[in-house]
């Protein structure tokens, strides 16, 4: 089977982002395991260099990038973003993000100690008010292999299919301000940080063909 990337399109990472991420990863892992004070000092210097590179090329304040990196601890690993595609007939559930005004499948970062399917169902409830049952895994994607705007982090995206159990009302929350069901060929403007048109098209295809295996990069 062809990879999801070949179907959905991809673009290479900017080299500066690749360099900054690698330096941050080396620094974070080094600060986790190093004991010698001189080694620790060098790893902090590497983290500072990574923050300067990212700030210089992204146009944000170095203090902001530095604070992002300093919050990361332990062995460096990709973050996990979970999303739920909840279909009703020929439409899919989308929520509108307050941060950029774009629409997306309900989802967010997975929390430690929480199975990813439970995290996806929780995100649907918190962001839309609807209760769902997760029925299957649709795709496991490397965010960098798809045309999303760049992030400081390396991210794996897990897309699940959800079955609507009970419809509710949009709860008060800080992330989403509208909810609706939309057909494949009349989607609202998407939050490209979270989901792309190519991914949405593929998820509809996987929904229509439940015999197909999950996509992966």
Task: Report the pLDDT value the prediction gives residue 108, as an integer from 0 to 100.
Answer: 95
Going through the chain in order, the beta strands assigned E by DSSP cover 79-88, 91-97, 103-104, 107-109, 131-142, 155-166, 176-183, 215-216
Single residue among 71, 92, 114 that ends a domain in this structure: 71
Whether pLDDT at 47 is above 90: no
Single residue among 55, 71, 87 that ends a domain in this structure: 71
Q: 1 in a domain, yes or no?
A: no
Task: Report the pLDDT value the prediction gives residue 11, as an integer from 0 to 100.
Answer: 59
d(CA 209, CA 30): 46
Helix then strand then coil, in percent of the chain rounded to 5, is 40, 25, 35
- Residue with structure tokens 């260099």? 49
Tens-digit pLDDT profile for residues 184-215: 999 999 999 999 999 999 999 999 999 999 99
Whether pLDDT at 8 is above 70: no
Whether pLDDT at 31 is above 80: yes
Q: Are residues 102 and 47 in the same domain?
A: no
Whether pLDDT at 126 is above 90: yes
Task: Report the pLDDT value the prediction gives residue 186, as an integer from 0 to 100.
Answer: 97
- Residue with structure tokens 């069901």? 181
Task: Report the pLDDT value the prediction gives residue 5, as an integer from 0 to 100.
Answer: 41
d(CA 95, CA 181): 9
- Beta strand 155-166 with 79-88: parallel, antiparallel or unpaired? parallel
Q: Domain span at residue 164?
A: 79-216
Q: 9 in a domain, yes or no?
A: no
Q: Are residues 36 and 107 in the same domain?
A: no
Task: Report the pLDDT value the prediction gives residue 132, as an integer from 0 to 100.
Answer: 97
Mean pLDDT in residue range 125-138:
97
Of 1-10, 36-45, 74-83, 120-129, give the lowest mean pLDDT range. Answer: 1-10
Whether pLDDT at 12 is above 90: no
Q: Are residues 106 and 200 in the same domain?
A: yes
- pLDDT band at 21, cuts 50/70/90? confident
Q: Are residues 52 and 122 in the same domain?
A: no
Q: 137 in a domain, yes or no?
A: yes
Q: Percentage of residues in the chain with pLDDT exceeding 70?
A: 94
State how many domains the chain has. 2
Task: Report the pLDDT value the prediction gives residue 10, as an integer from 0 to 100.
Answer: 54
Q: 3 in a domain, yes or no?
A: no
Tens-digit pLDDT profile for residues 64-87: 888 888 888 887 789 999 999 999
């Amino acid at each position: 089977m062809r990879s999801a990337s070949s179907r959905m399109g991809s673009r290479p990472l900017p080299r500066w982002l690749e360099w900054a991420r690698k330096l941050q990863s080396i620094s974070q892992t080094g600060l986790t395991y190093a004991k010698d004070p001189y080694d620790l000092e060098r790893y902090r210097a590497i983290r500072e260099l990574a923050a300067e590179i990212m700030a210089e090329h992204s146009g944000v304040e170095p203090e902001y990038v530095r604070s992002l990196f300093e919050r990361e601890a332990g062995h460096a690993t990709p973050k996990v973003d979970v999303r739920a595609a909840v279909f009703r007939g020929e439409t899919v559930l989308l929520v509108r993000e307050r941060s950029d005004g774009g629409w997306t499948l309900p989802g967010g970062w997975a929390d430690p100690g929480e199975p990813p399917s439970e995290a996806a169902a929780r995100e649907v409830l918190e962001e839309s008010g609807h209760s769902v049952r997760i029925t299957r895994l649709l795709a496991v994607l490397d965010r960098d292999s798809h045309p999303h705007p760049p992030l400081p982090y390396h991210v794996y995206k897990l897309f699940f299919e959800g079955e609507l159990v009970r419809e509710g009302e949009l709860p008060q929350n800080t992330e989403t301000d509208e909810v609706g069901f939309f057909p494949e060929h009349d989607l609202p403007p998407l939050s490209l940080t979270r989901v792309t048109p190519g991914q949405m098209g593929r998820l509809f295809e996987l929904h229509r063909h439940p015999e197909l295996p999950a996509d992966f990069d």
